[in-house]
Chains A and B, each alone.
Chain A
Amino acid sequence: DQQVKQNSPSLSVQEGRISILNCDYTNSMFDYFLWYKKYPAEGPTFLISISSIKDKNEDGRFTVFLNKSAKHLSLHIVPSQPGDSAVYFCAASARYGGSQGNLIFGKGTKLSVKP
């Protein structure tokens, strides 16, 4: 049973426009959410995170929104740049729910930003 779902395997966006990557989760014990970016031939790199006590976190061009009632989070990239082209993984953890803070990853969304 997939606890973290990224239903869009790929997304194509024009440079300068907004990229919106979506993630859904099923485990109500998740209380910390992260986005990772992965380029080919490299390991995933941490991008931005949000705690369940917040509904929004911003870091430069990147904003993560959390809707706990819908068990949904999204990553907004504004404006999108060609260098943002990568695979983006959503991850979640339940610090107090028995998983000891281990991360559960979605399958990833490949973002392509076209010049």
Chain B
Amino acid sequence: DADVTQTPRNRITKTGKRIMLECSQTKGHDRMYWYRQDPGLGLRLIYYSFDVKDINKGEISDGYSVSRQAQAKFSLSLESAIPNQTALYFCATSDLTGSHTDTQYFGPGTRLTVL
């Protein structure tokens, strides 16, 4: 079984709709992240959470919100989707302890299309 799972894997929606992307992990990691990938732009950080009570904005948080429901679950919401939020979205986790605390482990991604 995958350590980091994302649902849905693909989603097509219309402008103005509210969308939630979900991420679950079985790695037992404290830190969780949401990124988006656009062609030619690499991975950009939307939000991150270092534990259940800690939520931080990333580079491109406008138009997004998150919820850390438990150590293992981190969801990303688009309150009112717009076409330029069409992208690949990735969830990632990392461990607070150990020698490689910055190594992140990614889920398989969600392809979101906003029409």
Contact = CB atoms under 8 A, between A and B. Distances in A.
Nearest to A90: B42
* Size category of the binding interface on chain A: 20 to 34
Chain A at the B interface: SS class: loop
Interface string A3-39: 0001001000000000000000000000010101000
A46 B107 CA distance: 12
A105 B101 contact: no
Interface stretch (B12-20, B43-51, B65-73): B43-51
Chain B at the A interface: SS class: strand
Contacts of A100: 50
A113 to B, nearest CB: 21
B84 to A, nearest CB: 18
Interface of A: 6, 9, 32, 34, 36, 41-46, 49, 89, 93, 95, 100-103, 105-108
Interface of B: 4, 33, 40-45, 48, 50, 58, 90, 92, 94, 100-109
